[in-house]
Structure 1
């Protein structure tokens, strides 16, 4: 790639970005003010599944800060196959198109280029750099070594229920009146079916299928050089269908006649691409946490609706949605499920010392759910015990322990 070709690509992308900057976008709920991470030589990394809004969030941040920035999208087909040597010409193209005084750089999906780490490391010495990526391990290689901790990362998810309401122009406040509560619950039913991918909400449900296939082919099949594509797709479909349950990769490997090592690599790739998450079982010893079985969760309710083999289980969809809320708020840290001989609790939020049980109950919470959370509390001594229900609201005090019953719609809207 010569400099003139690089200039043309940069200029074309600049035109597209200027159009996007003039549009109105939904403000995202993120853990903190991202601008504080933009200081030389720190790199801000915005990570997450494809089409979750990473580049849009980057542009919103630049727009809010009112700074002179340049944008490069490495997911552009014009940049397919470029090498580290081409990055110098792209850099020169940026300075010629945007001007030499550009101080901020947004490098969108830059991990598509081999050797991007050294390029980014050099730029961050004088520029404030944002990188986005759909691979959770992109910061665990040479860049992490080069930066020696000088990077901050945030994981962005598809719309939460609160953001979904914001997108639709609806109030995201916890409803008080009977009428508004009914309206919010109707919207929740739609959200549990359609999910929160922005493109799918704008264009239509079929867009979820496109996003799903893009993740499979671009982030896993291509990246990990998957040969048995048919079996890989069967495996992924089966894994998605196990949402909110314990999963045995060994059994899945036997079912599709693939060796365990291959299945482990596929599962690793799916989690790196943010399509699925494997929640560990809580163990008091670190070794226990590594050897126990894990539960699988899926990035968005829309994927479950479009991909899962079996008919949807309302309670499991609720549980998956609660997981996603916790994962957003905790940035995937300090989360477990607890299981004993005769009980199980869906989530132990270790960061906030909370036990959370999820049940599709609208009249009465079953005794086993209450016993389970009390037994788990004997193990971890949590500060808060919550049972997320479909429609039950209130507080019960049992054996001196307070248990909050919270309807799903309220749990998703509250700032805990």
Structure 2
């Protein structure tokens, strides 16, 4: 490609971007905080699973700024070489003038891109998007120690889902509103929060998104050859949502060596498709034990997993809520010899048990929560489907909160 051809592509991309911004649903993100951190020579990286709305969010962040936009997910630019990126820079100046802000979408598609951005960020405010947690793992990360801000974007939260539906409920909720919210929550649990799936009102698009993540963000990046076996592995992991996962057991089941399985697991988590949650030990060091696995979106669970357990789907929603709120930090599960609690949210200081209390809350869930609370000193909470009260159990006050209300905070 030459500069004129690149300019033509960038002009088309900007027209599409302006059209996208005019229709975008606002996201619940700390916009001002992110922009304040975007000062020279800092770089702002918007990360997250493919097709979760990273491009749209980035465009909305810069909407009131004079900025240049380059989408490297465009097949016309995807085959550029790092040494040709100077032509992109020239095209930017010719189209936009001496702009202060530049948004590079999915720039990791260009191998060796880091020196290019490292040079530009000394005079420009740079926003990057990426579908892989190792976007800033190379040369740029070395030169940007303490000079980049990462923000993980998830598919629509339940609150954003309601906004997309044009629904706005405020407390106090009427009986009718509570019933409607629960119906919307069931729909959200079924289709999930990928913007494209909601726009098209189609579950079929979720399979397309899922396969796109596997092939483009894992298979291609890790150069996986045993694609069929890898897909079996991914299906097995997705089916184990809200459960502890033993990679050794899966390796034996699929007749694949542990090292390969571990690499595949790393690929799924670095693509933000799954989120491994560690057991709480009171230390921040990594521990070589099984992790619980949660899937980024319940729509994918519904399409991939054979078994759909309502209680586990509720737990997965709570996990994603906490991971989104805490930006994938400070969320654990708690397990002792005779007790287990679904979540410890270090930031809020809460131990959280999730239960679909159709037949009443089980004794072991209550006793586990109280024991963990007494040992660790965190406040106990139970997320239910519909119960809202304060329970007194073994001398502990336990707050019980409906899932829909918890997700709307």
CA contact (8 A) 2:210 2:300 kept: yes
Q: Which residue of 1 aligns with 2:381?
A: 386
Residue of 355, 359, 380 corresponding to 1:359: 355
Q: Which residue of 1 aligns with 2:144?
A: 147
Q: CA deviation at 1:2?
A: 2.1
Pairing of 1:102-113 with structure 2 (within 5 A): 102-113=99-110
Matched residue of 2:129: which SS? strand
Distance in 1, matches of 2:174 and 2:408, equals 15
Q: Which residue of 2 aligns with 1:276?
A: 274
Pairing of 1:395-406 with structure 2 (within 5 A): 395-406=390-401
CA contact (8 A) 2:43 2:125 kept: yes
Q: Deviations over 1:245-299 (max 9, x none)?
A: 0111111111111111011011001000000011111123556x51221111000
Residue of 95, 98, 110 corresponding to 2:96: 98
Q: Which residue of 2 aligns with 1:123?
A: 120
Q: CA deviation at 1:379?
A: 2.7
**1:340 equivalent in alignment to 2:336:** yes
Q: CA deviation at 1:373?
A: 0.5
**1:54 equivalent in alignment to 2:54:** yes
Distance in 2, matches of 1:116 and 1:151, equals 16
Matched residue of 1:234: which SS? helix
Matched residue of 2:155: which SS? coil
Q: Which residue of 2 aligns with 1:295?
A: 292
Q: CA deviation at 1:97?
A: 1.5
Matched residue of 2:287: which SS? helix
Q: CA deviation at 1:172?
A: 4.4
The CA RMSD over aligned residues, in Å, is 1.4
CA contact (8 A) 1:241 1:308 kept: yes
CA contact (8 A) 2:169 2:177 kept: no
**1:315 equivalent in alignment to 2:311:** yes
Q: Which residue of 2 aligns with 1:72?
A: 70
Q: Which residue of 1 aligns with 2:133?
A: 136
Pairing of 1:228-307 with structure 2 (within 5 A): 228-285=226-283, 289-307=286-304
CA contact (8 A) 1:357 1:373 kept: yes
Q: Which residue of 1 aligns with 2:222?
A: 224
Matched residue of 1:139: which SS? coil
- In structure 1, stretches of 5+ residues that fail to align are none
Residue of 400, 405, 409 corresponding to 1:410: 405
Distance in 1, matches of 2:405 and 2:45, equals 31
Which deviates the most, 5-14 or 255-264?
Answer: 5-14
Q: Which residue of 1 aligns with 2:8?
A: 8
Which deviates the most, 223-232 or 200-209?
Answer: 200-209
CA contact (8 A) 1:335 1:348 kept: yes
Call closer, same or farther: CA 1:172–1:150 in 2, change over 3 Å: farther
State the number of aligned residues.
407
Matched residue of 1:72: which SS? strand
- In structure 2, stretches of 5+ residues that fail to align are none
Distance in 2, matches of 1:11 and 1:410, equals 44
Q: Deviations over 1:213-234 (max 9, x none)?
A: 1100100111110000000000
Q: Report the TM-score, using the length of structure 1 for normalisation.
A: 0.95
